[in-house]
Chain A
């Protein structure tokens, strides 16, 4: 009889050194992408090869990928990517500056948590886009209105996850630090904040996901740059291959941003033994 760990060891041995394991993972990723494109072709032809829908044939993989290749050499596209990333960064930074201290305090003081629970859960459930009219009334520039929308979308996951992280701090660490003579503020700076870093990074990753989703409709507002703007533009000019290509680009940039936070998360994953 072999125990489970032994079996696991055997399988690991079969895979050999790390690069072989990575190749194994990469292989499956590529297979996944292949299957995705296959599905795209199947659904695309089923929908757009019907009579009367020829105009939408730009959405099929070949024209879309051709247009995507074209996009890569277009400076207006790169300007838009940068504009979008910059808006997301600024929005999340504002949300982080507001949300982090709130999250820490809410997690630290139970009464504050009880006090804020209902309002936060209530505000969290409001679609960020429903703030759009308010944003346009309050802010004079469209740019600041977009920052506001992204902040409204991302501040909640940051507050809630940070607070959750604080409440998960091992009470033994707190007792140990008190026993070692820690003042209250030192409990916060030496125990609570470092212990919450993995949760804070998770909150940023969630925030990024939400921000990237809200960004595109937010960029339908009266501005003239950003991925949301150029996708709207492509629709108006009926360039469906370009539209498809921008959809791919939005997914791709989001994927890369998410991946980079995941990398940072791994560097701080001290709690994984």
Chain B
């Protein structure tokens, strides 16, 4: 599936009757099977952008088209993964994974598919465990399984690994990339971590500036699995950092 964003603006009403502009005139086109990273500092509107794509927030201006069709509400084909694992505490791991399928009434091969995903995600033996007994990493795996069981064509990830420890994070990054290579979905991944961005993305979209918008887009032409110590990685990292600094200086002087 492809995503086209045209002149997307998002403003939030403020108590004093003013409006806070979070995103101005964002144009972005995402192709089938891409792994696009939205990179930016905290509060730059990257989560808002993702929520707009998910259809969880209404647009102020512009439009978003998925496969050419304008969207205005959430749809299970655009599955979302949040920073905090949003598991339902009264359901066990298995029940949480099938939650969406049960909602939508998709019961075909559900048991088989669930068993497969539990195996792939390394959740075997945890089927009957309640969320509060899981570590954050395991909980995020369950969320990933819940998102993937419906075979979404687009996966939207909102800093999914930001609250994990480094080791768990790098495991999950690798697993996600392997998953993406097999399932060939389109991924939009929001992060504030430059290394994570270059490790995973086929394209890095830098968000920032005043007013908030796209600063620059970088193609990442490195093979998977990527080496954080390689020259290509280092050059790209420096270029992105330089651009971020420039933009920061730019609006600090003003």
Residue of B76, B78, B86 touching A172 (CB-CB under 8 A) = B86
Q: Mark B54-66, 1 if CB is under 8 A from A, else 0.
A: 1010000000000
A172–B82 contact, CB under 8 A? yes
A179–B74 contact, CB under 8 A? yes
A175–B100 contact, CB under 8 A? no
71-90 of chain B: CB within 8 A of chain A = 74-76, 78-80, 82, 84, 86, 88-90
A180 nearest in chain B by CB position: B100
Across-interface contacts of A21 in B (CB, < 8 A): none
Across-interface contacts of B74 in A (CB, < 8 A): 178-179, 181
Most chain B CB within 10 A, of A172, A179, A194, A270, is at A179
For chain A, which range describes its interface: under 10, 10 to 19, 20 to 34, or 35 or more residues?
Answer: 20 to 34
A181–B88 contact, CB under 8 A? no
Residue of B78, B86, B89, B104 touching A176 (CB-CB under 8 A) = B86
B79 nearest in chain A by CB position: A179
A191 CA / B102 CA spacing, docked (Å)? 13
Interface flag for A170 (CB, 8 Å)? yes
185-225 of chain A: CB within 8 A of chain B = 186, 190-191, 194-195, 197
Interface flag for A271 (CB, 8 Å)? yes
Across-interface contacts of A195 in B (CB, < 8 A): 88, 90
Residue of A175, A194, A273 touching B88 (CB-CB under 8 A) = A194
Across-interface contacts of A129 in B (CB, < 8 A): none
A172–B84 contact, CB under 8 A? yes
145-199 of chain A: CB within 8 A of chain B = 170, 172-173, 175-182, 186, 190-191, 194-195, 197
B56 nearest in chain A by CB position: A175
Q: How far is the CB of A167 from chain B (nearest CB, A)?
A: 17
Given A172-B82, A270-B130, decide whether A177 and B90 contact each other with a Cβ distance below 8 A.
Answer: no
How many residues does chain B have at the interface if contact means C-beta atoms less than 8 Å apart?
Answer: 22
B76–A180 contact, CB under 8 A? yes
Interface flag for B132 (CB, 8 Å)? yes
Interface flag for B218 (CB, 8 Å)? no
B103–A180 contact, CB under 8 A? yes
Across-interface contacts of A170 in B (CB, < 8 A): 86
Q: How far is the CB of B140 from chain A (nearest CB, A)?
A: 13
Q: Is the interface of B mostly helix, strand, loop or mixed?
A: loop
Across-interface contacts of B90 in A (CB, < 8 A): 194-195, 197, 268, 270
Interface flag for B233 (CB, 8 Å)? no
Residue of A173, A181, A197, A270 touching B86 (CB-CB under 8 A) = A173
A182 CA / B103 CA spacing, docked (Å)? 6
5-47 of chain A: CB within 8 A of chain B = none
Q: How far is the CB of B51 from chain A (nearest CB, A)?
A: 8
Q: How far is the CB of A112 from chain B (nearest CB, A)?
A: 22
Given A172-B84, A173-B86, decide whether A190 and B103 contact each other with a Cβ distance below 8 A.
Answer: yes
A181–B132 contact, CB under 8 A? no
Interface flag for B180 (CB, 8 Å)? no
A170 CA / B88 CA spacing, docked (Å)? 10
Across-interface contacts of A175 in B (CB, < 8 A): 56, 80, 82, 86
B56–A181 contact, CB under 8 A? no
A179–B88 contact, CB under 8 A? no
Q: How far is the CB of B75 from chain A (nearest CB, A)?
A: 7
B75–A181 contact, CB under 8 A? yes
Interface flag for B126 (CB, 8 Å)? no
A273 CA / B104 CA spacing, docked (Å)? 30
A270–B132 contact, CB under 8 A? yes
Q: Mark A32-65, 1 if CB is under 8 A from B, else 0.
A: 0000000000000000000000000000000000
A65 CA / B148 CA spacing, docked (Å)? 67
B89 nearest in chain A by CB position: A270
A270 CA / B95 CA spacing, docked (Å)? 15
Across-interface contacts of A190 in B (CB, < 8 A): 99, 103
A181 nearest in chain B by CB position: B76
245-273 of chain A: CB within 8 A of chain B = 268, 270-273
A179–B130 contact, CB under 8 A? no
A27 CA / B122 CA spacing, docked (Å)? 47
Q: How far is the CB of B55 from chain A (nearest CB, A)?
A: 8
Q: How far is the CB of A166 from chain B (nearest CB, A)?
A: 15
B83 nearest in chain A by CB position: A172
Across-interface contacts of B76 in A (CB, < 8 A): 179-181
Q: A176-B86, A180-B103 are in contact. List 11 more A-B contacts (CB 8 A).
A: A170-B86, A172-B84, A175-B82, A176-B82, A179-B74, A179-B80, A180-B76, A180-B146, A181-B100, A186-B103, A272-B132
Can you list the 8 inter-chain pairs with the closest CB atoms, starting with the nearest?
A: A180-B100, A273-B132, A181-B76, A172-B86, A176-B86, A179-B80, A270-B89, A270-B90
